[in-house]
Chains A and B, each alone.
Chain A
Amino acid sequence: MRIIRNATTLGLIAGLGLAGAVAQAAADPIPTRQAIMSSVGAAAGLGGGMMKGEIAYAPAAGKAAIATMRAASLSFGNFFPAGSDKGNSDAAAKVWSDAAGFAAQLAKFTAATASAAEASGKSGPADLDAFKEAFGPVLGTCKSCHETYRKQK
């Protein structure tokens, strides 16, 4: 099992990726929302890797993973303007045809990151168990949105 010691660096990269994404927001919604989701994937990789024991746990890394998720959940929904279903996107037509359902999935995601952020506090969950408790529910929200609102591979 490969242990990545420098978990904090990974977390920072995930977080910075998001900041960069939001800066180019107005220009083009599709690459923006994809970059946000890509940072979500990176944060899931960091958090999941620590949960599996492949990456050594550090509270700062835990905090980075949670903060990335938090920011993504708050911003993601803003990048689906009408007409942005066309183009190089994997978002399913249902995002627009069933906007209420999509909003409900977003709300679940945002609620889970809010609780995680609260548990994370100033310096991140103190130990791996605390991190698992905070982060697990965030990872639990991905599937149900991808099930309906993303095109199949």
Chain B
Amino acid sequence: MKKAVIAALLLVLAGAGIGWGLSAPTRMSAQEAALLTEGDAARGELVFWAGGCASCHAAKGADGEDLLKLGGGLRLETPFGVFVAPNISPSEADGIGAWSLVDFANAMTHGTSPGGENLYPAFPYTSYVRMSAADLGDLFAFLKSLPIVEGKAAAHELGFPFNIRRGLGLWKRLFLDPAPVIASPLNGADVDRAVWERGRYLVEGPGHCGECHTPRDFAGGLVLADWLGGAPAPTGEGKIPNITPVEGGFGSWSAADIAYYLESGFTPEYDSVGGEMVHVQENMARLPASDREAIAAYLKAIPPVSAGSD
């Protein structure tokens, strides 16, 4: 891990130093912004669960209605320091109550705050960048309908140079890409293309599954060649499993097994889900069955990553 931290450090310093222009925060183009329309809060609720926003922005251990109080405060410990999830409730003073839809979309898809600062990728906008304009509009409408929580969350605890947001510009140029990771279903897979694409959208976009299940390189960017091939757990003990269709591994799960796991939390052997996957599974359980089936169809038809490559 130490080596990775030093490499990332050099990248950040380079980002801060290399021409100011290269590290400037980017924003949506006028054409992209024009696609955004005020959405529907009821539809936005499903986008909210698919996106797992409550897992980071609600209080630690929150349950039931408390999952909708997005006052922030959860501490995310990483090798770069501690990130504290901010307040994204509709409070004008402390949350995002005063933000426009375009401000919100710039944060979600460009990692850029309304004030023009780079946001840290501990906020998984590297996945959210693939979200559709319609979903962003609906999600924003839903967030606006949630309870106001007063009070700002604590500041991040980051050492130099990670505390310089400007330095992230170069990192974003390297790792922020809206293109799909997997272009098409695995050759020979017998899948309905539209269902598979819905699954791809959920996994690669709002579901941000790759942020945990894909290994990272020296600079903290995802190694796309090993997409969903498993990774060491960033926090806590143990490993995050490979969820590609490898023989002798996850490949033995049928599509129905995967959909049932996302619905109930039970593996085909009736072991129960644990660790950080618990929140994700509970969020997936709130989506329509067709979405869980789409995720399963996608996971069954992506390139297998052989064991040990992480």
Known: A44-B266, A48-B270. A146 touches B237 (CB 8 A): no
Which size class do B's interface residues fall under? 20 to 34
Q: Are B270 and A153 in contact (CB under 8 A)?
A: no
Q: Are B275 and A150 in contact (CB under 8 A)?
A: yes
The binding surface of chain B is classed by DSSP as loop
Q: Are A44 and B272 in contact (CB under 8 A)?
A: yes
- Please provide the chain B residues from 227 to 249 with a CB less than 8 Å away from any CB of chain A in the complex: 233, 236-241
Q: Are A41 and B269 in contact (CB under 8 A)?
A: yes
Known: A44-B272, A153-B241. A144 touches B236 (CB 8 A): no
Q: Are A45 and B278 in contact (CB under 8 A)?
A: no
Q: Which residues of A contact B275 (CB under 8 A)?
A: 146-147, 150-153
A42 interfacial by beta-carbon distance below 8 Å: yes
Known: A152-B233, A153-B240. A45 touches B269 (CB 8 A): yes
Among A90, A146, A151, contact of B272 (Cβ-Cβ < 8 Å): A146
Q: Are B270 and A143 in contact (CB under 8 A)?
A: no
Q: Are B266 and A146 in contact (CB under 8 A)?
A: no
The binding surface of chain A is classed by DSSP as helix
Among A45, A48, A152, contact of B274 (Cβ-Cβ < 8 Å): A152
What residue of chain B has the Cβ atom nearest to residue A37's Cβ? B271
Task: State the Cβ distance, B282 to closest chain A Cβ, in Å.
Answer: 8
A sample of 30 cross-chain residue pairs with beta-carbon separation below 8 angstroms, ordered by A number, consists of: A41-B269, A42-B270, A44-B266, A45-B269, A48-B264, A48-B270, A92-B236, A92-B237, A93-B237, A139-B266, A139-B272, A142-B272, A143-B273, A143-B278, A144-B278, A146-B273, A147-B274, A147-B275, A147-B278, A150-B275, A151-B237, A151-B238, A151-B275, A152-B233, A152-B239, A152-B240, A152-B275, A152-B276, A153-B238, A153-B275
- Chain B residues engaging chain A, CB cutoff 8 angstroms: 233, 236-241, 264-266, 269-278, 281
